[in-house]
Structure 1
Amino acid sequence: MKNRVRNTNSSIKSGDLLLSEQPFAFVLSSKEQGNRCDNCLQKGKVLKCSGCQFVHYCGRSCQKDAWGDHKWECANLKRVAPKVIPDGARMLAKVINRLNRGDGHSYRAFYSATSFRMWKDLMSHYSDLKADVKRMDHFTSLCGVLYEFLRDISLPNTVELMGMYGRMVINSFMILDTDMNSVGTGIYLGSSIIDHSCDPNAVVAFDGKTINIRAIQDMPTLDWKQIRISYIDLMKTPYDRQTELLKNYYFLCQCHRCMDETQIKYVHAAKCLNSECVNPVNIPWKDNLLLVRKAENENGKENGKEYSEDIVPVSKNGVIGQDSLCCEECGTKYTESHVQTFIKTMEFTHEHLKSMEGASVSYVDVCKYCLDRQEGVVHPLNVMHAQTLDHAFDALIQMQLWERACVYAEKLIPCFRFYYGQKNPLLGLLHLKYGKILLYKMDLNKALHQLKCAEKILKITHGDMHPLYREQLLPLLHQAMVES
């Protein structure tokens, strides 16, 4: 299927589709095996491939469409069964197969009428990989799997294989379903030209395995050198975002959002003791608290990976003593007792957020206990407060505790706006989930308002033909309008 590209000479409006692309290589996540089709990635009733008994398809059409890519893999999967090939090894095997047996070296992925990317154009970050102990261990383990799995293919030498591995890990996209959950991984050559920003002007949305890049800002013309998407979750401190980008992509983000000291003041802020004041109050709650990294030069690094790590001051005059700590806006003073309460709350929340990291389900009671301790202590836009609310909201939905979910959704919306921006798919999805709950509770006016907010955002981020918009949002919006 040919890529759909945008004419670069025309002006760009928010919501315009810039690029629609099929993957160069992709894999369904092993945790989704048996739940989704390995070709279209749609969820539903699927049947096993009669050969390998591992891959599943939703019907003959998908099986036929995938056979050109699967036929070499089928025999190898059958031979190593019942071993399950790790997703990374399976993806790298698909890349090797396409490069050795197919059109991998000559394939052109167009991102404009005349511009394209090829496999060789992808950056491998070879020198960075060699210095990355964790990734080298991963590469070594994948090589062991590949030597057993691909006996019918002559593997490249170690240097070439490591270059392929680097291109794979640096340029892969997580393929997301309509609920923004990861269901697979794909390499998209054209889309890989887009750089990162923590304040992006474009967003990624998936329809099955198809990646769609849409603008979320008006632009006079399409300049791919100026298009930015976010590679990571943005609901973190600048320091944590920068650390993740350094670890996974080997660059230090210095975008204006990371460097905005006004915004940095909120991420670990306490709530002002004056109930009429909304100003954030910064209390250093642990030693050597780092909120942002500042590069030593304009390139983001010097002498390889050297950079300075600045402790952002909690006042204009630097870190102030606890005995004189006060709100810069209204002058309300903090006692030693207030400071210790904030410190203990932050430490407690930090510990429990780490324990919930990567868990398939959050613990409702733990989240509630954290939020109770945070009430009146941490600022409503404090990132740990926002993360706790997010965990709690998802857990309450899974447990169908609708009343409490509504309370948390109301508090979570301003946090999502602050960290993700006004036109982010996650914010649109939050409005949609909240509106759906309100509709179930027959709170029709509020439901209609939330669903209209979702409609405004998702029409921009997904387009009016996307299944999330057409099949999930519009029927709910129509129901809310009719019943109200």
Structure 2
Amino acid sequence: MRNKYRNTDSSIKAGDLILTEQPFAFVLSSKEQGSRCDNCLEKGKVLKCSGCQFVHYCGRSCQRDAWGDHKWECANFKRVAPKVLPDGARMLAKIINRLYRGDGHSFRSFYSGTSFRMWKDLMSHYSDLKADKKRMDHFTSLCVVLYEFLKDISLPNTVEMMGLYGRMVINSFMILDIDMNSIGTGIYLASSILDHSCSPNAVATFDGKTINIRAIQDMPCLDWNQMRISYIDLMKTPYDRQTELLQNYYFLCQCDRCMDEKQIKHVHGAICLNKQCEEPVTIPWKENCQVVRKPETKTESNGTTTDSQSDEESTISLNKDVIENGEDKETLHCKECGTKYTDKHIDVFVKTMEFTHVHLQNMERASVAYVDVCQYCLDRQEGVLHPLNVMHAQTLDHAFDALIQVQLWEKACVYAEKLIRCFRFYYGDRNPLLGLLHLKYGKILLYKMEIPQALAQLKSAEKIIKMTHGDRHPLYKEQLMPLLQQAIMESS
């Protein structure tokens, strides 16, 4: 299937589809093996390949469609069984096979009538990789596996292999299911032209393995040099987002959102003790608590100042030792209304932040949220953390998902209402995750027969999801619209 792309001479409206592309190479995540088809990625009843007994297909049509790509790996899977190939090694093997046995070097993926990208156009960040011990250890382990797996093909030399590996890890997209959960990884050559912003003007969504890029802002014309998507989850401090981008993509993000003073003061904010004031109060809670990286400003010999782009960035920090040394104890107050904080208030805030931080890390490592832990964290945060504090937002997010899992609908609704404000602050008004939150909340309200509220939430979901996914996407057609139609019928 050829790429579909938007005519660059026309103006762009929010919701316009600007690019549809099939992957250059892709793999289904090993955690999804046996529950999804390895070709179309649909969830459902699947059968094992009779040859390798490793990959699964939903039917003969998908098996035939995938055979050209699978036949070479089928024999290799069978030979190394019962060993299982890691996802990264399988992806790299697929790339090597396409490059050295297929059309990989000559393949062109168009994003306009005359513009395209090829494999060689992807950045490998070779020098950055060589200096990255964690990535080099991963690369070495993949090479060991590949030398055993690809016995029937001469592997490239080490320098070429590092180039392939770099292009793979830097340019991979996480393939997301209908609920925006990762189910695989893909290389999309044309889509890789898109740079990152924490305040994007476009969004990438998936229908199976097909990537769709849609604009979420009106523009006078389509300029690919100005199009931005988000590479990462945005509900983090600017410092954490910048650190993740530096570690994974080797650049320091200095977008307007990262440098926004409003976000910086909210992310670790305490609630003002004056209940009539909504301004966050900055209270240092640990040593060198960095909230944003900013480039160093240097003074030139002629007296002018310039921003340094060196690796040593300055940071805005909230330093706990300032409070402990007593320098600010008497003056710590809300800058909006002047309400002062006592030692007791400061101590409660610090302990609440430390407690929440530990439990959020534990839940992240466990990949599951526990209702009782979330509830305990939220109880401690009540009246202490600002409603838009990032740790409060992350705890609400974990709690909402956990409550849905155990079907505690009443409490889920309470948290959803609070979470909507957080999602709007961190993700913006036109993010698919916000649309999904409205959809889930509306579905619960409809189940509870709170029809007017359900209808309002589902209409909000419809407005966002139609823009981010389009009205032909299964999320819109099969999930949202039946619920919206039911709510409309119930309300009449």
TM-score, length of structure 1 as denominator length: 0.97
1:442 corresponds to which of 443, 446, 449: 449
Distance 1:249 1:368 in 2: 36
Structure 1 counterpart of 2:330, one-letter code: D
1:394 corresponds to which of 376, 382, 401: 401
Q: Give the superposition deviation at 1:81.
A: 0.8
Q: Give the superposition deviation at 1:186.
A: 0.1
Report if aligned partners of 1:266, 1:382 keep a CA contact under 8 Å in 2.
Answer: yes
Provide the secondary structure at the position in 2 that maps to 1:257.
coil
Distance 2:318 2:412 in 1: 35
- Listed one character per residue, the Cα deviations across residues 322-345 of structure 1 (whole Å, up to 9, x for unaligned) are 222111111111111011000100
Partner in structure 1 of residue 300 of structure 2 = none
Report if aligned partners of 1:252, 1:295 keep a CA contact under 8 Å in 2.
Answer: no
Partner in structure 2 of residue 165 of structure 1 = 165
1:360 corresponds to which of 362, 367, 371: 367
- Listed one character per residue, the Cα deviations across residues 368-427 of structure 1 (whole Å, up to 9, x for unaligned) are 000000001000000000000000000111111111111100110000000000000000
RMSD: 1.3
Distance 1:281 1:89 in 2: 48
Partner in structure 1 of residue 303 of structure 2 = none
Q: Which moved more, 1:319-328 or 1:102-111?
A: 319-328
Q: Give the superposition deviation at 1:313.
A: 8.9
Q: Give the superposition deviation at 1:309.
A: 2.4
Partner in structure 1 of residue 262 of structure 2 = 262
Gaps of 5+ in 1: none
2:430 corresponds to which of 423, 432, 447: 423
Report if aligned partners of 1:272, 1:327 keep a CA contact under 8 Å in 2.
Answer: yes
Report if aligned partners of 2:4, 2:21 keep a CA contact under 8 Å in 1.
Answer: yes
Distance 1:311 1:264 in 2: 10
Provide the secondary structure at the position in 1 that maps to 2:214.
strand
Q: 1:452 to 1:291 in 2, by over 3 A?
A: same
Provide the secondary structure at the position in 1 that maps to 2:290.
coil
Q: Give the superposition deviation at 1:300.
A: 7.3
Report if aligned partners of 1:173, 1:185 keep a CA contact under 8 Å in 2.
Answer: yes
Q: Give the superposition deviation at 1:272.
A: 0.4
Provide the secondary structure at the position in 1 that maps to 2:330.
helix
Distance 1:351 1:312 in 2: 18
Structure 1 counterpart of 2:167, one-letter code: R
Q: Give the superposition deviation at 1:187.
A: 0.2
Structure 1 counterpart of 2:223, one-letter code: D
Partner in structure 2 of residue 310 of structure 1 = 316
Q: Give the superposition deviation at 1:138.
A: 0.2
Q: 1:313 to 1:452 in 2, by over 3 A?
A: farther
Q: 1:320 to 1:410 in 2, by over 3 A?
A: farther
1:301 corresponds to which of 299, 309, 314: 309
Distance 2:327 2:235 in 1: 27
Alignment of 1:74-223 (within 5 A): 74-223=74-223
Provide the secondary structure at the position in 1 that maps to 2:18.
strand
Q: Give the superposition deviation at 1:299.
A: 8.4
Partner in structure 1 of residue 61 of structure 2 = 61
Distance 1:195 1:55 in 2: 33
Partner in structure 2 of residue 453 of structure 1 = 460
Report if aligned partners of 1:252, 1:300 keep a CA contact under 8 Å in 2.
Answer: no
1:370 corresponds to which of 361, 367, 377: 377
- Listed one character per residue, the Cα deviations across residues 58-80 of structure 1 (whole Å, up to 9, x for unaligned) are 01111011000000010000111
Distance 1:360 1:377 in 2: 27
Distance 1:45 1:310 in 2: 52
Report if aligned partners of 2:271, 2:279 keep a CA contact under 8 Å in 1.
Answer: yes
Report if aligned partners of 2:202, 2:229 keep a CA contact under 8 Å in 1.
Answer: yes
Provide the secondary structure at the position in 1 that maps to 2:206.
strand
Distance 2:24 2:210 in 1: 11
Report if aligned partners of 1:292, 1:312 keep a CA contact under 8 Å in 2.
Answer: no
Q: Which runs of 4+ in 1 moved over 4 A?
A: 297-300
- Listed one character per residue, the Cα deviations across residues 132-186 of structure 1 (whole Å, up to 9, x for unaligned) are 0000000000000000000001000000001000000000000000101000000
Distance 1:332 1:228 in 2: 41
Q: 1:80 to 1:360 in 2, by over 3 A?
A: same
* % same residue: 79
Q: Give the superposition deviation at 1:15.
A: 0.2
Provide the secondary structure at the position in 2 that maps to 1:54.
coil
Distance 1:244 1:20 in 2: 27
2:483 corresponds to which of 452, 476, 481: 476
Report if aligned partners of 2:200, 2:229 keep a CA contact under 8 Å in 1.
Answer: yes
Alignment of 1:249-288 (within 5 A): 249-288=249-288
Report if aligned partners of 2:285, 2:319 keep a CA contact under 8 Å in 1.
Answer: no
Q: 1:228 to 1:313 in 2, by over 3 A?
A: farther
Report if aligned partners of 1:251, 1:300 keep a CA contact under 8 Å in 2.
Answer: no
User: In the alignment, does 2:428 pair up with 1:414?
Assistant: no
Partner in structure 2 of residue 333 of structure 1 = 340
Q: 1:53 to 1:166 in 2, by over 3 A?
A: same
Provide the secondary structure at the position in 2 that maps to 1:311.
strand
Provide the secondary structure at the position in 1 that maps to 2:189.
coil
Distance 1:320 1:234 in 2: 34
Provide the secondary structure at the position in 2 that maps to 1:306.
coil
Partner in structure 2 of residue 40 of structure 1 = 40
Q: Give the superposition deviation at 1:358.
A: 3.6
Report if aligned partners of 1:206, 1:212 keep a CA contact under 8 Å in 2.
Answer: yes
Distance 2:435 2:257 in 1: 21
Q: Give the superposition deviation at 1:295.
A: 1.7
Q: Give the superposition deviation at 1:125.
A: 0.2
Q: 1:332 to 1:471 in 2, by over 3 A?
A: same
Distance 1:300 1:321 in 2: 31
Q: 1:176 to 1:136 in 2, by over 3 A?
A: same
Report if aligned partners of 2:270, 2:283 keep a CA contact under 8 Å in 1.
Answer: yes
Count of residues paired in the alignment: 478
Report if aligned partners of 2:287, 2:318 keep a CA contact under 8 Å in 1.
Answer: no
- Listed one character per residue, the Cα deviations across residues 60-115 of structure 1 (whole Å, up to 9, x for unaligned) are 11101100000001000011111110000000000000001000000000011110
Partner in structure 2 of residue 73 of structure 1 = 73
Distance 1:446 1:262 in 2: 31
Distance 1:73 1:422 in 2: 44
Partner in structure 1 of residue 469 of structure 2 = 462
- Listed one character per residue, the Cα deviations across residues 202-245 of structure 1 (whole Å, up to 9, x for unaligned) are 00100000000000000000000000000000000000000000
Q: Give the superposition deviation at 1:312.
A: 6.3
